[in-house]
Structure 1
Amino acid sequence: MPDLTGDAERSRADKIALRDRLLTSRRAMTSTALASAAAAIQDQTLSLVRREQPATAAAYVPIGREPGGPDLVAALAAHVRVLLPVLLPDNDLDWAAYPGTTRPGRYGLVEPTGPRLGVSAVAQARIVFVPALAVDRRGMRMGRGGGSYDRALSRLPLVSGPLVVALLHDGELIDHVPAEPHDRPVHAAITPGGGLTVFAN
């Protein structure tokens, strides 16, 4: 009989080790490397938006060393209506349209000042840009461990749903991400050096 409990514990331990390694690598990036990566990611996200021409896209405000840089949302908002997440006390994500202004949110995050639209509003988007620490060649995504985006992505229809795209630094598109039952894959990833990679999931 398979040891499901042991498998789950090993998967969690593998995730913790991989997460630590990736965060250490991000901390080692210079300000010049971060700025160059952010510019390349913004170019790629805007190219995708111009090609797909969605009425609405969902994104996030990058903080610290997250891919995309501090100007990502403003760059997107010049071309498309943007929904941004608002972290709720239970770590779920509410959503609001970006009105051009933001304010400090929980845990050092940045959130939009517009009226909240509810946890299901993400389904209005035709492209959803999500943060990630790593994505593998199957499209399995690893975040920071809070499960917020797994819950949000679970509300999206599997058929004819939005294109879900993870934004990564170079070196974060890897061969294997340890997966647990609640983890949701993404359809594509953008890296500064490799551009858009689409997965067959």
Structure 2
Amino acid sequence: MSDLTPDAEKSHQIKISLRTRLLTARRSLPVAVRSAADAQLHDRTTALVRRTGARSIAAYVPVGSEPGGPDLPDRLLAALPPGGRLLLPVLLPDNDLTWAEAAPADPGGPVAPVVSTDPSGPRTARSLLVAGPRGLREPAGPRLGVEAVCSVDLLLVPALAVGGDGTRLGRGGGSYDRVLARLPEPGPLVVALLHDGEDVDFVPAEPHDRRVHAVITPTGGFARRPYSPSGS
């Protein structure tokens, strides 16, 4: 028997249905369409980094059809000013996330090749990441702890959809709900990267859900949410 109230149970079922539909749509995107969208997201996130003057970024490492593609970490590293740093997540056994600093790959180090999604044609590049659990890619450096994300200027998070009030729909594992719940106020600017069509009017909210400050989509670009920090 469910411990959820009738309203919460209804929201939960709506989220399951929405999540299934969005995942199916993502998987059906042609490679060329996804590659072009990733390139647009790279341009828009780079512009955001430079416009905000962010010197420290925490981001995710896209897998499969997630927005941004496998080159996203490298593009973010290139967008940072001298002395800037990029933190990337490392999955813990309880599904929480600790963080490690990304650095340009050492050509002689133990790194895995990654195929670029550049629409001009596939190429093989050296990755700054190593293989992690569940098919993830992770930075190999020292683990900085779950609180490391609290001190960054900009946090880019994955999402399947974001509603008009900033409510974020994830895959259901809860990793980023924990990350967002521990951020201070005021904290970093939190932006979700989405495919076109995933910036929606409404996402059902449950007590554990957290909102984001803005979204970036390939064609729509940067769009604030109602309580976006001033000046962002």
SS of equivalent to 2:130: strand
- The residue that corresponds to 2:5 in the other structure is 5
Task: Note the alpha carbon deviations across 1:120-146, whole angstroms, 9 max, x for none.
Answer: 000121100000000011010000000
Aligned counterpart in structure 2 of residue 173 of structure 1, from 199, 207, 217:
199
Query: Which runs of no fewer than 5 residues in structure 1 stay unpaired?
Result: none
Map 1:54-133 → 2, pairs under 5 A: 54-80=54-80, 81-100=85-104, 101-133=128-160
The equivalences for 1:4-43 within 5 A come to 5-43=5-43
User: Is 1:99–1:113's contact at 8 Å kept on the other side of the alignment?
Assistant: no
Larger radius of gyration: 2
Q: Which amino acid aligns with 2:55?
A: A
More helix by proportion, 1 or 2? 1
- Report deviation, 1:48: 0.3
Contact 1:59 1:85 in 2 (8 A): yes
Deviation at 1:14, TM superposition (A): 0.6
- Distance of 1:120 and 1:79 partners within structure 2: 24
Residue matched to 2:213: 187
Residue identity matched to 2:160: L
Aligned-pair Cα RMSD in Å:
1.2
TM-score, reference length from structure 1? 0.96
Q: Secondary structure at the match of 2:103?
A: coil
State the Cα distance separating 1:53 from its structure 2 match: 1.2
Q: Distance in 1 between matches of 2:139 and 2:94?
A: 19
| TM-fit CA distance, 1:54 | 1.3
Q: Which amino acid aligns with 1:71?
A: D
Shift of 1:95: 0.4
1:79 Cα offset (Å): 2.5
Q: How many aligned residue pairs are there?
A: 198
- Mapped to 1, the partners of 2:215 and 2:97 lie a distance apart of 21
Residue 102 of structure 1, CA deviation: 0.8
- Gap runs ≥5 in structure 2: 105-127, 228-232
The residue number in structure 1 matching 2:113 is none
Query: Where does residue 198 of structure 1 map in the other structure?
Result: 224
Cα deviation per residue 1:163-199 (whole Å; 9 max; x = unaligned)?
0000000000001101100100000000001000001
Give me the whole-angstrom Cα distance separating, in 2, the residues matched to 1:158 and 1:147. 21
How far apart, CA to CA, are the structure 2 residues paired with 1:109 and 1:6?
Answer: 36
1:13 is displaced (CA, Å) by: 0.6
